[in-house]
């Protein structure tokens, strides 16, 4: 009796999960974390309007969600001053990245990204047989000029850039991104991941030109809007590209509850403003905790702070391990030289107090 006949590509891939979730770690440890500060979730949560809308939608969850995401697309279009034909909604940015790669990448096609950037994009590319070409960061920032130059050298179909960046928290201003878009080689598409843009300083995002065929911009309700568990993302792009998503996307992939919550969250910009203040205050607290322990917090335009531990990757991994042993869930960059750092999501006052209490002992144990 034979089993499934996998494709050669799938048979060659490792069965890997990019991130080991906190739930998995808690099961392995046999106890919960005292502070969940590793997944860049918005602990302040969604708008009360969104919670109310999702609770109400739960009564109608026997119905599928609208396969066209009509109301949400119209609201997003109005919010951004574009047409609904320029908006596609999907299961978070991760889901949209998967669709985009499926549409454009065949075995051997070149794709350019940064070494150490958000790895889920790479998993999608590998899953469809694309050839990943990487460039180094410039210090703690992704390097737009190096990315476009490598794309020109390789004939890349896709160029990936996150602005603000994960895992470093750094960002480029709108003028820099606009210059990068102007340099995108003929036949390439810039995937501009703006997951954290609602938490970034004014002037980070360039002016929207939805019909520019050189760029697709990815946004999410997971970060600023506090709805990571609902899996609602969207992309803004030229109408022909957005239409192409309809050829392959899961038309019933969006839950009715998530659609209702996102629509209500978008209507409550006052709540987003409050979250932005809370995130800014928490970033400042994390920076103060790091400096009090002799560490260097990096500037951040996100809902996390990347902290230079002052040693090499091995030392930072020991610090991370000790924090986890003290029931503090954090993560770290995985490529040198950035793996000298740990990455700590912002949290509530009690979360940050727990991190503050655990960090000195974790550092002492790591140094020992």
In a domain, 124, yes or no: yes
pTM for the full model? 0.96
Provide the pLDDT confidence category of residue 15 given band limits of 50, 70 and 90: confident
The domain boundary residue, chosen from 243, 268, 293: 268
Q: How far apart are CA 121 and CA 113, in angstroms?
A: 9
The enclosing domain of 184 has a CATH number of 3.40.640.10
∠ CA(264), CA(270), CA(271), 5° rounding?
A: 65
In this predicted structure, what is the pLDDT of residue 137? Answer: 98
Find the angle CA(179)-CA(184)-CA(189) to the nearest 5 degrees. 125
Q: What's the confidence (pLDDT) of residue 37?
A: 97
Residues 330 and 363 reside in one and the same domain = yes
pLDDT of residue 2: 85
Pairing of strands 189-193, 215-220: parallel
**Predicted pLDDT at 261:** 98
Q: Which of 21-25, 114-118, 172-176 is the least confident region?
A: 21-25
Chain centroid to CA 178: how far?
A: 21
Crossing angle of the two packed helices 119-127 and 92-104, in degrees rounded to 10: 40
What whole-number distance in Å separates Cα of residue 71 and Cα of residue 65?
11
Q: Rounded to an integer, what distance in angstroms lies between the CA atom of residue 67 and that of residue 197?
A: 27
Alpha helices, DSSP H only, in 60-211?
70-80, 92-104, 119-127, 144-154, 174-183
Residues 131 and 96 in one domain: yes
Phi (first) and psi of residue 367, to 5 degrees: -70, -30
Q: Indicate if the pLDDT at residue 196 is higher than 90.
A: yes
pLDDT of 145 reads 98
Work out the average pLDDT over 238-248. Answer: 97
> 161 and 27 in one domain?
no
* Domains of the chain: total: 2
Q: Is the pLDDT of residue 3 over 90?
A: no
Domain final residue, candidates 248, 268, 288? 268
Work out the average pLDDT over 23-36. Answer: 94
184/100 same-domain check: yes
Tokens at 278, concatenated? 């809370």
Question: DSSP state, 299?
Answer: P
Lowest mean pLDDT among 5-9, 313-317, 329-333: 5-9
Q: Which of 268, 293, 318 is the C-terminal boundary of a domain?
A: 268
Burial label, 17 (beta-carbon count in 10 A; 0-12, 13-18, 19+): exposed
Q: How confident is the model at residue 208 (pLDDT cuts 50, 70, 90)?
A: confident
**Structure-token pair, residue 228:** 């990571």
> Does 236 lie in the same domain as 96?
yes
Relative orientation angle of helices 269-292 and 256-266, to the nearest 10 degrees? 90
167 and 304 part of one domain: no
Look up residue 290 and give its two tokens. 């790091």
Give the C-alpha separation, 125 to 97, whole Å.
Answer: 9
Write out pLDDT tens, residues 270-325: 999 999 999 999 999 999 999 999 999 999 999 999 999 999 999 999 999 999 99
pLDDT on residue 241: 98
Q: Print burial letters for 135-154: b (CB count within 10 Å at least 16), e (below 16).
A: bebeebebbbebbbebbbeb
Q: What is the DSSP letter of 163?
A: S
Give domain status of residue 170, yes or no.
Answer: yes
- Angle of CA points 256, 91, 159, to nearest 5°: 155
Q: Give me the mean pLDDT over the 225-244 stretch.
A: 98
Closest to 144 measured CA to CA, from 175, 121, 123:
175
Question: Each residue of 254-271: pLDDT tens digit?
Answer: 999 999 999 999 999 999
Q: Are 130 and 103 in contact (CB under 8 A)?
A: no
Domain hosting 167: range is 63-268
Q: Greater confidence, 208 or 58?
A: 58
CATH of the domain at 359: 3.90.1150.10
């Amino acid at each position: 009796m034979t089993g499934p006949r996998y494709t050669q590509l799938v048979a060659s891939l490792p069965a890997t999960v990019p991130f080991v979730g906190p739930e998995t770690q808690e099961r392995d440890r046999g106890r919960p974390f005292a502070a969940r500060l590793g997944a860049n979730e918005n602990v302040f949560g969604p708008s009360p309007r969104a919670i109310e809308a999702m609770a109400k939608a739960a009564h109608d969850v026997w119905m599928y969600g609208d396969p066209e995401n009509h109301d949400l697309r119209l609201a997003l279009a109005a919010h951004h001053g574009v047409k609904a034909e320029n908006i596609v909604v999907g299961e978070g940015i991760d889901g949209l990245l998967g669709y985009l790669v499926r549409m454009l990448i065949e075995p051997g096609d070149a794709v350019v990204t940064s070494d150490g950037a958000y790895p889920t994009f790479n998993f999608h590319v590998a899953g469809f047989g694309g050839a990943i070409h990487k460039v180094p960061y410039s210090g703690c920032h992704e390097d737009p000029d190096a990315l476009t130059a490598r794309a020109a050298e390789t004939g890349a179909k896709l160029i990936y850039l996150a602005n603000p960046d994960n895992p470093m928290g750094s960002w480029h201003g709108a003028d820099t991104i606009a210059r990068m878009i102007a340099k995108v080689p003929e036949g390439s598409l810039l995937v501009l991941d703006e997951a954290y843009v609602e938490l970034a300083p004014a002037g980070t995002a360039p002016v929207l030109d939805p019909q520019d065929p050189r760029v697709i911009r990815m946004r999410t309700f997971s970060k600023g809007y506090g709805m990571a568990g609902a899996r609602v993302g969207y992309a803004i792009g030229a109408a022909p590209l957005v239409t192409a998503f309809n050829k392959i996307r899961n038309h019933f992939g969006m839950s009715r509850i998530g659609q209702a919550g996102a629509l209500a969250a978008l209507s409550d910009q006052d709540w987003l403003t409050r979250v932005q203040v809370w995130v800014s205050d928490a970033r400042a607290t994390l920076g103060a905790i790091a400096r009090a322990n002799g560490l260097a917090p990096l500037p951040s335009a996100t809902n996390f702070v990347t902290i230079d531990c002052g040693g090499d990757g091995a030392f930072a991994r020991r610090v991370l391990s000790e924090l986890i042993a003290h029931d503090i869930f954090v993560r770290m960059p995985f490529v040198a030289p950035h793996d000298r750092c740990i990455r700590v999501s912002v949290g509530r006052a009690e979360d940050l107090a727990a991190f503050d209490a655990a960090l000195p002992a974790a550092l002492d144990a790591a140094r020992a």
